Structure 1
Amino acid sequence: MSHTAHIRSHRKPRRSASTIAMRAGVAGGVLSTLAVAGASGSANAAEPVTQTLELPTLTADLAAQVAQSADVTQQAAASYELQAERDAAAAKAAKEAKADLAEAKKKAAEEKKQAAEAARKAAAERASRSAERATLSASADTGSSDSSGSSAGSSTSTSTATGSAAAVVAFVQSQVGDAYVSGGTGPNSWDCSGLVQAAFKSVGVDLPRVSQSQSTAGTQVGLSNLQPGDILYWGGAGSAYHVGVYVGDGMFVGAQNSSTGVVKASLDYDPPSGAVRVL
């Protein structure tokens, strides 16, 4: 034993240090245990809070997605409905346009028909007036003939046209002075067969369009036995290259050529090959 062991002041600090160390160790252990327990308790207590906070977040996201999907569906439905309305309106407009077009065509055809009828009546009236003037003139000049007439002209009939023949004569005489145009069918320009066809159409007689066919359209008659309204032709029957209308007194009217146009001339001016009688 140390020689100082009996001294209290030397032993008391050693005991105090051990006691303090032991107490510190115990306290540290207790504090560690408490810390671990506290940390564990904090961890265990925090876990439900974390789960409770996440659930509303997921639920809100899902609700937002559902709402967005509903908006898209509603917009699509509205778009389909708008397109359907547009398609229906377009179909209705097309149907109405088609009906309007059909009505317009029908109206145009009717107006054209009325115009043609009016033109025909006007031509018939004009022909009738011309025929009356021609009759009065022929009555005043009975027996007269062209001073340059040949045997063909002097041997033809000078009888005055009546009825439809008079209307045909009046029609062609009213066109004298009009222009000659190949293929012309009037009302102010003609070719030879177009003039003849129009003259007979004015009295309701349909003739073929070309001179070859018109030269065989009626009964063949001799040039010495002509009557007003007979069709004259130049060339062979069935192969004629020119036609005109005999108007009496050795005269005819025809659309001759582009230089002379429609003229009234003596048979001696251009002797025909033959004639046919339609009326």
Structure 2
Amino acid sequence: MAAAHGVGPNLFVQEADWYNEILLGAVVPGDWWRGMPHPMRSWLRNTVGGFLLYFLTGFLWCFVIYYWKRHAYIPKDSIPSIEAMKKQIIVASKAMVVYCALPVVSEHMIESGWTRCYFHVSEVGWPMYFVYLALYLIFVEFGIYWMHRELHDIKPLYKYLHATHHIYNKENTLSPFAGLAFHPIDGVLQAVPHVFALFFVPAHFRTHTALMFLEVIWTSNIHDCIHGKVWPVMGAGYHTIHHTTYRHNYGHYTVWMDWMFGTLREPEDILKKD
């Protein structure tokens, strides 16, 4: 399938190279990386950017909720230990190099013209941009819900992949750093709907790229145990329940899929039983 609306893939390559120049040129010493093949440069950029986002988000949010505003957000006995957070960082860091290969694959498919990705918003217009964005997010929400649910329901997948993440099953073990503490294949599987969506829904390239990296921030947010109570957002209150019951709240951005498929459990339900 050619790139949407006849836009040649070279624009996508140029955009990816621009991202590489901005990030790698600012962070990586020397210019040795410029001699790497294009996919390797993109992988290096994703890895550097992923680590920066992970650590900046994690350390900043931990500082706010565990030290600066600790009495306002989380009871003292629910603050995870430094040792627990170190282990989460180690697991996430080992997996990061694999996670960051997935955006390289999606970029290659986009650059090759295999997807329905488009480059300029003007190609579809702003009204259709928002329609397509909504469809993209619905597709991703549906895909991540079922991928996550099957990682629980299919026992070998849970035992050998997803169980790595579920050792964090109490408020005093969950932290923003747990957000990416997965077996690397598990993390990739749960992000794959972002890539599959490109074959079915016209997607704006920059928006798709931004959403892939915003996953780092989002997963940190839903593992901090602070319930924002913004319906229908799948806040940390819902996701903490998932880590304690294992059978509820599989959704990603919202609670809609859990509501539709009968796996929703409200934080208020826990409070009532307590």
Same fold (TM over 0.5): no
- With a CA cutoff of 8 Å and minimum separation of 6, indicate the structure with the bigger relative contact order: 2
Larger Rg computed on CA atoms:
1
TM-score by length of 1: 0.28
